[in-house]
Structure 1
Amino acid sequence: MFALFIMIEMGISERKEREREEMRALILEAAKHLFLEHGYAKTSIRGIADRIEYSPATIYLYYKDKKELMLALQVEAFGKMNASFGELLAIADPFARLQRMGELYISFALENPQLYDLMFMLEAPMEALECQQDSWLNGMQSFDFLKQSIWDCVEAGYFEESADIDALALTVWSYMHGLVSLYLKGRMVIFGEDSQLDRLRESQRNFIDLLSKK
């Protein structure tokens, strides 16, 4: 009888946890759409609550404010991008790894344009990061991996030994972000609809090649 009681309690606990996760997902999805539709500043907790047809008090049971909601969305997005970089660990040559990282970055952005907007283009306060550094760690992982790949390229003789790793990593990221932003915002129409993506990928390859001294 006691074992049966424990099993029932465990079942109830698991169901409640599943319901909590489903509610978090519902809230985040509503917040994501409203942030993208109206911007961060014009989105309110009440608006998010209205979207899912619950009271604002329900939102506050899960997130203390919209800053925390934005951070949760960004953490989720960076986690997804980092997962897409998994294959890079198997590429021994650092220059080939750097080239492939650029290709995967482009693919992620083009396949997840809404997430990319939330990560890098939507205007939102950054002070939430200062008090939640642990949550932001996966947002730094991709940049740290980029820095490590560049350092490996230096050691392998692809880049100058005097290279500033931080500055070079920022240069690479800035170039990639600029390329992706131009494409996502429809600023590459000068190349024609059929060749825009080819030009995007070719530019990325050319840029990385130009960095090498070999």
Structure 2
Amino acid sequence: MGITERKEKQKTELRRMILDASMKLFVEQGFENVSIRKIADLIDYSPTTVYLYFKDKDDILFNLHELGFQKMAEYNEGLWDIKNPLLRLHKMGENYIKFGVSHPEFYDLMFIQRAPMQSIEKMVDCEWKSGDVALGRLKDTIREGMDKELIVKGDVDAVSMAIWSMVHGLVSLSIRDRFNKLVPPDAVLPMMTQALNWLLETIDLTLKP
């Protein structure tokens, strides 16, 4: 490995160290209580070093947010080859649940904590492409199902919101250990998948007046 390649590898590793340390502190102390100095102290570097990679704490949070969406997208690789939109919708729900249960820290950052969205709103000319793509995939699948008369026609945005809220509720309750009151820990994920399948098979996907 040449000098240039070695330096690039070191930069990549240090950037990942900063993100990992930031995630740890955000989870343990909350976004508001974490400072660049705390992040730097955790990885034994100076705050100046952290600022070489990220302009501020909001920038770190945004990059963690984006990393979470990249991880979630990996669960859906090959999903768009499924021709039947209903089957694809079921699989999207299952993958969403698996991601949330497997990566609760990222899920909390992406879909529960207020700080990420507040940070994104403050960033100038910030395009939240990852979030838009994820939501767009859901809406496209529902719209396709309606076009093929596999889903009762209705307001795509409203139906998307209903389905997203449903799986979000399942994941949120799970990562807060609420389902342990109902089933043993090793049965939570299978039960969540069963609940998802039952709901998607029986829900009336019509926007009621």
Same fold, TM-score > 0.5, yes or no: yes
Residue 145 of structure 1 corresponds to: 137
Unaligned 5+ runs, structure 2: none
Residue 5 of structure 1 corresponds to: none
Residue 13 of structure 1 corresponds to: 4
What secondary structure is seen at the aligned counterpart in 2 of 1:204? helix
Q: CA deviation at 1:196?
A: 2.9
- Per-residue CA distance 1:15-38 (angstroms, 9 max, x = gap): 222111111001000000000000
Alignment of structure 1 residues 1-214 onto 2, 5 Å? 11-130=2-121, 131=124, 133-134=126-127, 136-161=128-153, 163-193=154-184, 195-211=187-203
State the structure with more CA Rg: 1
**Which residue identity does 1:34 align to in structure 2?**
L
Q: CA deviation at 1:212?
A: 5.5
Q: TM-score, normalised by structure 1?
A: 0.88
- Per-residue CA distance 1:153-202 (angstroms, 9 max, x = gap): 101112222x1111111111111000111111111123221543333111
How large is the Cα RMSD of the aligned pairs? Answer: 1.7
Q: CA deviation at 1:49?
A: 0.5
**Which residue identity does 1:100 align to in structure 2?**
K
Unaligned 5+ runs, structure 1: 1-9
How many residues align? The count is: 202
User: Would you say the 8 A contact 1:159–1:211 is kept in 2?
Assistant: no
User: Would you say the 8 A contact 1:154–1:160 is kept in 2?
Assistant: yes
Percent identity of the aligned residues?
A: 38
* C-alpha distance in 2 between matches for 1:11 and 1:199: 52
Further displaced range: 49-58 or 82-91: 82-91
Q: CA deviation at 1:12?
A: 2.3
* C-alpha distance in 1 between matches for 2:100 and 2:57: 24
User: Would you say the 8 A contact 2:109–2:116 is kept in 1?
Assistant: no
Say if 1:94 and 1:12 are closer, same or farther in 2 by CA, change over 3 A: same
Q: CA deviation at 1:133?
A: 3.2
